[in-house]
Amino acid sequence: MSTYSKKEIAAVLQAAEILNEKGSSQKLNISEFCKEAGISRKNAYKHKKRFTLSLDSLKEKIQFLEREKQKIQDKLKHAEKRAREADLYWELRNILVTLNNDIKKNGPGWTPERQKLTDTFNEISKSLGVKPHNFWD
């Protein structure tokens, strides 16, 4: 069993590749490192492949995450729109309750307050695509 974790082995191999690419005088003998770690070169490179992300795979992951982020933002916008609509429908309900209570209390007929409530009702209805209503005809 190796005294190094799989991630540590991957990091050492990646560091060795970077040193070699940069032409460093500090060369790491991979075979000796593998012997010291108690693993085969084949396993060492498997660990490296598994734990080292390539630039292309990072770009793919970023693109995937951006698409998922956009989906979540779209769902959030839809949910916010539905919540606003629900609030407006609740407001319509409250106006109707207020009108009904006023009629029960003061009798039928037109009053400036009822007209104001009707205008508010129709303004909200229009924003929701609901047909306006004239309560006094």
Tell whether 69 is covered by a domain.
Answer: no
The Cα 125–Cα 104 span in angstroms is 24
Q: 11 burial class (0-12, 13-18, 19+ CB within 10 angstroms)?
A: middle
Tell whether 42 is covered by a domain.
Answer: yes
User: Per the structure, how many domains does the chain have?
Assistant: 2
Q: Rounded to the nearest 10 degrees, how much is the dihedral formed by the CA atoms of 122, 128, 130, 132?
A: 10
pLDDT higher than 90, residue 117: yes
Predicted pLDDT at 45: 79
Contact, 128 vs 89, CB < 8 A? yes
Predicted pLDDT at 78: 97
pLDDT higher than 90, residue 3: no
80 and 46 within one domain: no
Q: Please tell me the pTM assigned to this model.
A: 0.55
Tell whether 125 is covered by a domain.
Answer: yes
Query: What secondary structure letter does DSSP report for 24?
Result: -
CATH classification of the domain holding 31 = 1.10.10
The Cα 38–Cα 36 span in angstroms is 5
Pick the residue with more confidence: 114 or 28? 114
Please write the tens of the pLDDT for every residue from 9-56.
Answer: 778 777 777 777 777 777 777 777 777 778 787 887 787 777 776 667
- Mean per-residue pLDDT over the chain, rounded: 85
